[in-house]
Amino acid sequence: MATTPMGARKARVLRAVVGDYIRTAEPVGSGTVATRYRLGVSPATIRNDMATLEELGYLVQPHTSAGRVPTDLGYRFYVDTLPRRAALSDTQRRAIAVFFGEVPPDVEEVLRRTASFLSQLTHYAAVALAPDVERSRVAYADLIPLASGALLVVVGDTGRVDKRLIEAADGVSEPALRRTSEALRRSVAGRSYAEARRRIDRAAAAAAGDDRDVLAAVAQAFADLERSGGPDHAFIGGVANIAGEDAFERRETVRRLFEALEEEAAVLRFLRGLAGEEEVAVTIGRENPVAAMREASVVVAPYRAGHRPAGAIAVIGPTRMHYTTSISAVRAVSRRLSGLIETLAG
C-alpha cells in the first residue's frame, strides 16, 4: 500500500469507517471516527475527507443526516489493504486442531464436514467443492454386478468416488461383465478421466456383442462425468447462518441466494474459476458474476491433493462481512485440508 493515491490520512479514515461499520452495523459519522480512532485531527477535517471519499465512490450516506456506509468499492479497498495474515483466535486454532485430528471415513465425508466446520468457524455459510474431475486421475475403476445390471465405481487419485448404474437393454451377461471389469482394472489406472474414456471407447469399438454394449455404456458414463463434473459435488454448510444474518435486510435477498446455492452448477463454475492457484481470493458484492450473489461476498481458496490443486473451499456471507476472520479461517482450513486429503488419497 505504501502511499495510496488517495492520500495517507484519507486511507486511514476509509479503513476506520469500514472497520467500524463492519463491527457495529451503524452508519459511521465523523465524530465516531475522530473519538474512536485517534487520527489526531478534528471531526471537521474528517468530514472533509469523508466527503472526498464519497465523491471517489468509496462511501455513501443512506440519507443526508446519517453517517457513511461503505460501498463495494470501499470494502474492496479495505480488504486489499488488510494487514497481512491476521492471527486466528486461540479458540479457532484449537477448534481446527481438534477437527483435523479426527480420522475421517472418506474424502467425500471430509468435504461435507469441512463445509459444516468452516461455517461454524466463521458464522457464515460455507461451501466445499469436491475434487475436480479434470484435475484428478483415475486410481481405480470397477464394475460391481447387481441384480438389475452393474454399478460402475470410479475412484480418483484425489479421493473422489463416482458411481453410476450401467444397464444394458436386455440384461448383462455374467462373463461380459467379468471381462469388462478385468479390462477396466487393467487399463485405466493412472490415466486422466478423458484419456480413460478414450481407451474404453477404443476397446468398445474393438469388442463385440455384450462386451461392446457394456464398454459403450461405461464410456458413456465417463463422458457424463467429464461433462457435468459429476452430480452434486458441492457440499454446503451453515445455511442457517445466512437465514439468521440480518445484514441481509430483505428476505428476498436470502431467498435468491439459497436458490443460487441450490442451483449447484452455477456456484460450482463460479467458485472453481475464483479459486486461484495459491492464495485466498475475495469477491465483493457486485463484483460477483452470479446475479443472486450481488449482495454477498465470497472468500475462497483452493485445496490441493498431492501437490496439485484439486478443489476449493469458500465462505459466503454479507458484504458487511468480518473479512479478517473469514480470510484467516479459509486460509488455515484450506492448508490443513490439503494435508489431510494428501494423506488420504495420495
Partner DNA sequence: TGCTAGCACTCGCGGATCGAGAGTGCTAAC
Partner DNA sequence: GTTAGCACTCTCGATCCGCGAGTGCTAGCA
**Binding stretches for DNA (CB under 7 A):** 9, 26-32, 40-45, 47-48, 50-51, 54, 61-68
Residue 112 contacts a copy of itself per CB under 8 A: yes
Q: Give the chain's radius of gyration (CA, Å).
A: 25
68 binds, among DNA, a copy of itself, none (CB under 5 to 8 A by kind): DNA
In sequence order, what are the beta bridge partners of 163? 153
Asked if residue 184 lies in contact with residue 141, where contact means CB atoms within 8 angstroms, the answer is: yes
Indicate the residue among 155 and 327 with the shorter CB distance to a copy of itself.
155
104 binds, among DNA, a copy of itself, none (CB under 5 to 8 A by kind): a copy of itself
Conformation bin of residue 307: beta by default, left when phi > 0, alpha when psi is -120 to 50: left
Indicate the residue among 158 and 324 with the shorter CB distance to a copy of itself.
158
Cell numbers describing residue 76: 474492496
Indicate the residue among 43 and 339 with the shorter CB distance to DNA.
43
Closest contact distance (angstroms) between CB of 61 and DNA is 6
Closest contact distance (angstroms) between CB of 243 and DNA is 23
Residue 239 contacts a copy of itself per CB under 8 A: yes
Indicate the residue among 56 and 266 with the shorter CB distance to a copy of itself.
266
Residue 265 contacts a copy of itself per CB under 8 A: no
Q: State how far Cα 290 lies from the chain centre.
A: 14
5 binds, among DNA, a copy of itself, none (CB under 5 to 8 A by kind): none
Quick one: which of 239, 272, 238 has its CA closest to 258? 239
The 159-198 site mask, x for binding a copy of itself (CB under 8 A), equals --x-xxx-x-------------------------------
The values of phi and psi at residue 123, to 5°, are 65, 20
256 binds, among DNA, a copy of itself, none (CB under 5 to 8 A by kind): a copy of itself
Helix/strand/coil (H, E, C) string of 3-68?
A: CCCCCHHHHHHHHHHHHHHHHHCCCECHHHHHHHCCCCCCHHHHHHHHHHHHHCCCEECCCCCCCE
